[in-house]
Structure 1
Amino acid sequence: MIDRIPAVAGTFYPKEQFQLKALLKDFFEEKMELSFLKQNVGLILPHAGYIYSAKTAAFAISKLKDFGKPKTVILIGPNHTGIGKGTFSIWDKGKWITPFGDFAVDTKLAAFLIENNPFIVPDYSSHIAEHSLEVQIPILSYFLGSFKIVPILVNNQSYENVLKLTKTLKEIWEVEKSLLFVASSDMNHYESEDITLQKDTKLIEKILEKDIKGMYEIALKYNISACGIGPIASIIPLFENVKLIHHTTSADISGDSFHTVGYASFLLW
């Protein structure tokens, strides 16, 4: 078995369990016992350091109290490092180690994805130092408890490639009905707060309209530097409803309104 060691524990979030619990407690109003999902649900969540983005993520994760908890979380994120192979890199076996325990890969679903999409390849090198999926697991676990995972990195986020991924995700939909699909993305990067909010708003409008092609067009037209457009676009067609839960920028915490990153979270059902 191949196990993944945390790459950003101690930087993006506390590596000690007690410190992590203390931090996340401030972002959630309540925890409750949840039954398993009877329908698949989706979230779009940011992946910055928890001090900046955990509150935005927690608002959306808390909405799962109205639906339930998943047996498996399909994690889809961008590859920031540029390391790896394949259009989509999947970690297909073993477990991911976190301060809240180990999370086993759903090998059955991972194998299904690989068998049904030649563009999805087993590759661990792309995941080793990548943070976009790692940061999702502890905060999801704090609210949901244990679950299996299927980690997928989108190495090439072209519109055409994302359509191929969506097609395979729809096939998974027919196999399982207790899945949480998580698309990991921050919004616009490293511009003033005013510009970031303007650009984020344009992209958010397309997300709420479920206009995938429009997302790509508007990002190109206005140079919107959201890093996970591909992961977002890959899960939107799976759902009838998309709702914006929370939107903010890093300036709320840093006080720096000249170099900001936008964070938004959405619920899909």
Structure 2
Amino acid sequence: MIRIPAVAGSFYEADPVRLRKQIEWSFLHDLGPKSLPSVPQNKPPQRSNRFFVVPHAGYMYSGPVAAHAYYHLSLEGSPDTVIILGPNHTGLGSYVSIWHKGKWKTPLGEVSVDDEISLELVKLTEIIDIDERAHLYEHSIEVQIPFLQYLFGQNFKIVPIVIMMQTPDVAESLAEGIYKLVSSGKKDIVVLASSDLNNYEPHDKTIEKDNLAIDEIQKLDYKGLFRVVEEKDVTACGYGPIMTVLILAKKLGKKPYVLRHATSGDTSGDKSSVVGYLSVRFGD
């Protein structure tokens, strides 16, 4: 069972050579880390940065911001499994949908789904449905995979989970299941929360609204983030995934480090109607 890319050629380059150059452009951009990553051959005995927030727009807009998260992820070597939590933009599938086996294809090759971790998560949480429909046209998970392949080749597996029901209760259940897997130590697991921040308002207004959400992220207050989204009309699309990693970070004693905050206007130059982007690592 192979998942075919839905946004290659639009959100990122479809040609593998051009795609690698686009990813390198993201790392070297003024808004990016300004340096290409170098993945160590030997992983440290204990991974510090296990959870990340990373944006999911077209690379020409959000790539440099996303590159910060991937740069820090690269410093500690290839994880065994990357759980990617993304919002559901299409309305297809269940409230929480997992693609539980097979491979995902991108212009850089194929990456295997960790069927063992996927099925264990389904059992542990009791809220995840095995449902591929939610993933067929969804970009929030797909756009993360070429970055991972650029760093680690085929030396990792993924667990793709799309969340439609973005509530604190769902985040709590997901976080508890993932926490049990991470704490077991059976595999080296990293979790990516794929989300953009405020959508399609002027740059200054978006920065103002984004900062309300960032304040709650820095406090690891997942219920506070939910209130901000609901009450202050901060149109962050992946607040469910972010809430999940906030809970996980608090459970495992990780601190939030904001790596880069910018908008699409910072890369495109058009600040009349922008989308906010954020990279955060949660580490020691």
TM-score interval for Structure 1 and Structure 2 normalised by the shorter chain: over 0.9
Q: Percent of counterpart pairs with the same letter? A: 39
| Partner in structure 2 of residue 18 of structure 1 | 17
Counterpart mapping for 1:1-269 below 5 A? 2-28=1-27, 29-34=35-40, 35-36=42-43, 38-39=46-47, 41-85=50-94, 87-146=95-154, 147-175=156-184, 176-239=186-249, 240-269=254-283
Give the partner amino acid of 2:19.
L
Contact 2:26 2:59 in 1 (8 A): no
How many pairs were matched up?
Answer: 267
Deviation at 1:22, TM superposition (A): 1.2
Equivalent position SS for 2:51 = strand
Contact 2:37 2:75 in 1 (8 A): no
Instruction: Provide, for residues 70-107 of structure 1, a one-character-per-residue CA deviation record: whole Å limited to 9, x for no partner.
Output: 1110000000000002x310000000001111000001
Deviation at 1:65, TM superposition (A): 4.0
Instruction: Provide, for residues 212-262 of structure 1, a one-character-per-residue CA deviation record: whole Å limited to 9, x for no partner.
Output: 110011122210000000001101222221110001001112222221100
Deviation at 1:30, TM superposition (A): 2.3
Deviation at 1:173, TM superposition (A): 1.2
Instruction: Provide, for residues 106-139 of structure 1, a one-character-per-residue CA deviation record: whole Å limited to 9, x for no partner.
Output: 0110010111122111100000000000000001
Give the partner amino acid of 2:194.
S
Contact 2:81 2:187 in 1 (8 A): no
Deviation at 1:169, TM superposition (A): 1.1
- Structure 1 pair 126–65 and aligned structure 2 pair: CA distance change class (3 A): closer
Equivalent position SS for 2:14 = coil
Deviation at 1:165, TM superposition (A): 1.0
Deviation at 1:69, TM superposition (A): 2.0
Equivalent position SS for 2:173 = helix
Give the partner amino acid of 1:105.
V
Equivalent position SS for 2:159 = strand
Greater displacement, 28-37 / 123-132: 28-37
TM-score (norm 2): 0.90
Give the partner amino acid of 1:103.
V
- Structure 1 pair 33–193 and aligned structure 2 pair: CA distance change class (3 A): closer
Q: Distance in 2 between matches of 1:51 and 1:65?
A: 21
Deviation at 1:140, TM superposition (A): 2.1
Contact 1:36 1:71 in 2 (8 A): no
Instruction: Provide, for residues 17-55 of structure 1, a one-character-per-residue CA deviation record: whole Å limited to 9, x for no partner.
Output: 001011112222123232346336111100000000010
Deviation at 1:177, TM superposition (A): 4.6
Contact 2:39 2:76 in 1 (8 A): no
Equivalent position SS for 2:200 = strand
After superposition, the CA RMSD in angstroms is 1.3
Greater displacement, 30-39 / 63-72: 30-39
Q: Which segments of 5 or more consecutive residues in structure 1 lack a partner in the other structure? A: none
